Amino acid sequence: MATLLKGAPCAAALDSRTAALAARLAEEKGIKPQLAIVRLGQRPDDVWYERAAQKRCAAVGVLVRPVTLPEETSQQELLAQIHALNADESVHGVLIFMPLPRGIDTAAVCSALDPAKDVDGITAGSRAAVFSGSGAGFAPCTAEACLRILEHYGIDPAGKRAAVIGRSLVIGKPAAMLLLAKNATVTMCHSRTPDLDSVVRQADIVVAAAGKIGVVGKDAFRSGQTVIDVGMNCGDDGKMCGDVVFSDAEPIVGAITPVPGGVGAVTTSVLAAHTVAAAGNPA
């Protein structure tokens, strides 16, 4: 039986450190960390995540300012909101839900955000920091949550082979860079990777972020592997499930995150931690 890498204990440990830092900021500098959440429209996943983020932030002493805009908001209006948040000294972090509605230039919106308030790693500056390993910017929260889980459970990537399935800018690529910074030997896999099962089988650490149920089969797994399943999919039974078929992998591998209750449970804790860090180091 694999060790279950549950997200909740990792999130709780991170939250208690974040809450202590937030309390110290309030006490010593009179700063109350605040996160603005910019949402266009009412996509159920976004609304759900916003509520989860609000709850988490409240628990650790981070204020949340929801900036809820109609789906038909123009690019000009959205950019004006972002410039206002950049200029507002009481706001330390800004989360903008993606994807943005059609007709809005995502690149223009990302580059409008002050990199110092970019707590979810969407600006070019934050990406450069993650890719250079300089530590000067924030990584996307979900990618960092994968590393936080490994750290919490004492799984050191140094010297290990890691396979990351998925190469998006929000999860796959930054997760690969964060693993590389921890001295793993990283293979990045994607939809054109031939014989994915055999590539994944060679890895000691597998990060699955493809958004596809059963992206690898039973042959991809062997004993001793650590599997971090980022996928959040809706199964045939209507329940949330990961990219890895849990019942295939769990009897074989050494450790695995559940879905739900794995990476997803840590993401909002990372978001709150980034906001407090941004408040402690204003630009």
Binding site for ligand NAP (CB under 6 A): 142, 165-168, 170-172, 189-193, 196, 209-212, 215, 230-233, 263-264, 267
The first and second tokens of residue 22, run together, are 């937030």
Nearest distance, CB of residue 174 and ligand NAP, angstroms: 10
Could you tell me whether strands 205-208 and 226-229 are parallel, antiparallel, or unpaired per DSSP bridges? parallel
Nearest distance, CB of residue 259 and ligand NAP, angstroms: 8
Nearest distance, CB of residue 271 and ligand NAP, angstroms: 10
Q: Which is nearer to ligand NAP, 31 or 167 (CB)?
A: 167
Q: Which is nearer to ligand NAP, 93 or 172 (CB)?
A: 172
Nearest distance, CB of residue 158 and ligand NAP, angstroms: 24
Q: Closest Cα to residue 185, out of 158, 166, 148?
A: 158
Nearest distance, CB of residue 85 and ligand NAP, angstroms: 22
Could you tell me whether strands 240-241 and 233-234 are parallel, antiparallel, or unpaired per DSSP bridges? antiparallel
Nearest distance, CB of residue 190 and ligand NAP, angstroms: 4
Q: Which is nearer to ligand NAP, 25 or 147 (CB)?
A: 147
Q: Closest Cα to residue 283, out of 123, 67, 91?
A: 91
Peptide bond just before 115 cis, omega within 30 deg: no
Q: Which is nearer to ligand NAP, 116 or 258 (CB)?
A: 258
The first and second tokens of residue 147, run together, are 């590393």
**How many degrees, rounded to 5, is the angle at CA 270 between CA 10 and CA 186?**
80
Q: Closest Cα to residue 165, out of 203, 135, 131, 128?
A: 203
| Rounded distance between C-alpha atoms, residue 196 and residue 215, angstroms | 9
**Alpha-carbon distances of 174 from 30, 80, 139, rounded to whole Å:** 34, 29, 7
Q: Which is nearer to ligand NAP, 93 or 242 (CB)?
A: 242
